[in-house]
């Protein structure tokens, strides 16, 4: 009942709106179908990636030898099942222990919305929960790579955050992630545990690949700024109001 009412409400609001805005072409396509509008009614204004630039990295978290005594791969995601962390953890468990890796997971959970995460018990996985921006930036800066195994993303901001911090990125070949990451990420099938494991193995063992992704990521992230997003939003609002400031 609630879902039906919610959809009807959004269809009604979409018809009345002067402008419909979203963050990616993928989201535009999905939203247009959901609210019964043409894609032409939507304007895409991508998110920025430069909000961590002014944050001082708190490397004390990473320097804690009790928790970061090994090289690590990073995942930034909630416990929402669409984030696909169970497959990521299973894939990590298939890596050779001689690689000396940890998998560090950062993100919140809400037991009122999502059931408790039923993750495989795998040695070397460390879940930190929610961290502040300074700790998050430190993790991006020190990780071997960010892995984004999501089954659905309307944008995928952590991938760009990592790129802006010089962290190599590997993402699922799905939803908005290819649109956002372009040629600056390594791609994998998020439904294949073997494919996820293979990508992690490559990132852990190929320093040349990591450096290439790092350089490509900096270039890619530089395209996405909050100043540009704000200017696009300002222009849309001015147009919608007939040029009023």
Residue 225, pLDDT > 80, answer yes
- Give the model's pLDDT for residue 15: 82
Q: What's the CA angle centered on 171, arms 168 and 175, to 5 degrees?
A: 145
For the entire predicted model, the pTM comes to: 0.91
Q: Pick the residue with more confidence: 57 or 145? A: 145
- Give the model's pLDDT for residue 11: 79
Q: How many helices (H) and strands (E) does the chain have?
A: 10, 8
Q: What is the DSSP string of 81-130?
A: GGG-HHHHHHHHHTS-GGG-EEEEEE----TTTSPPP-----TTEEEEE-
Range of weakest confidence among 56-60, 71-75, 81-85, 157-161: 56-60
Distance CA 105, CA 93 (A): 14
Q: Pick the residue with more confidence: 196 or 240? A: 196
- Give the model's pLDDT for residue 112: 58
Q: Looking at residues 39-58, what average pLDDT do you find?
A: 91
Domains of the chain by start residue, with CATH? 1-45 (no CATH), 60-221 (3.40.50.2000)
Average pLDDT, the chain: 90
Q: Looking at residues 114-130, what average pLDDT do you find?
A: 79
Distance CA 180, CA 224 (A): 9
Q: What is the DSSP string of 151-189?
A: S--SS-HHHHHHHHTT--EEEESSTTHHHHHGGGSEEE-
Residue 134, pLDDT > 80, answer yes
Using CA atoms, how far residue 143 sits from 41, 193, 240, in Å, is 40, 21, 44
Residue 158, pLDDT > 80, answer yes
Q: What is the DSSP string of 2-26?
A: HHHHHHHHHHHHHHH-S-EEES-HH
What confidence category does residue 111 fall into, taking pLDDT thresholds of 50, 70 and 90?
A: low
Distance CA 157, CA 212 (A): 21
- Phi, psi (5° rounding) for residue 71? -60, 150
Distance CA 73, CA 169 (A): 10
Q: Pick the residue with more confidence: 240 or 77? A: 77
Look up residue 9 and give its two tokens: 């409400």
If one counts every other C-beta atom within 10 angstroms of the C-beta of residue 55, the result is 15
């Amino acid at each position: 009942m609630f879902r039906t009412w919610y959809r009807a409400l959004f269809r009604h609001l979409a018809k009345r709106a002067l402008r419909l805005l979203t963050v990616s072409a993928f989201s535009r396509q999905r939203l247009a179908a959901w609210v019964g509008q043409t894609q032409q009614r939507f304007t895409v204004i991508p998110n920025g990636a430069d909000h961590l630039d002014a944050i001082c990295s708190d490397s004390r978290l990473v320097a804690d030898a009790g928790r970061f005594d090994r090289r690590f791969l990073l995942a930034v995601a909630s416990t929402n099942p669409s984030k696909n962390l169970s497959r990521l953890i299973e894939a990590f468990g298939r890596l050779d222990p001689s690689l000396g890796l940890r998998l560090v997971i950062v993100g919140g959970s809400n037991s009122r919305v999502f059931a408790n995460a039923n993750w495989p018990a795998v040695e070397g996985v460390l879940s930190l929960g929610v961290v502040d921006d300074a700790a998050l930036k430190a993790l991006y800066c020190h990780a071997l790579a960010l892995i984004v195994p999501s089954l659905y993303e309307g944008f995928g901001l952590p991938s760009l955050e990592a790129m802006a911090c010089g962290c190599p990125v590997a993402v699922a070949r799905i939803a908005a992630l290819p649109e956002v990451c372009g040629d600056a990420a390594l791609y994998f099938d998020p439904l294949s545990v073997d494919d996820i494991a293979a990508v992690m193995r490559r990132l852990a063992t190929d320093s040349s690949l990591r450096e290439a992704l790092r350089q490509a990521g900096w270039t890619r992230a530089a395209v996405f700024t909050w100043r540009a997003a704000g200017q696009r939003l300002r222009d849309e609002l001015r147009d919608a109001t007939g040029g009023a400031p």
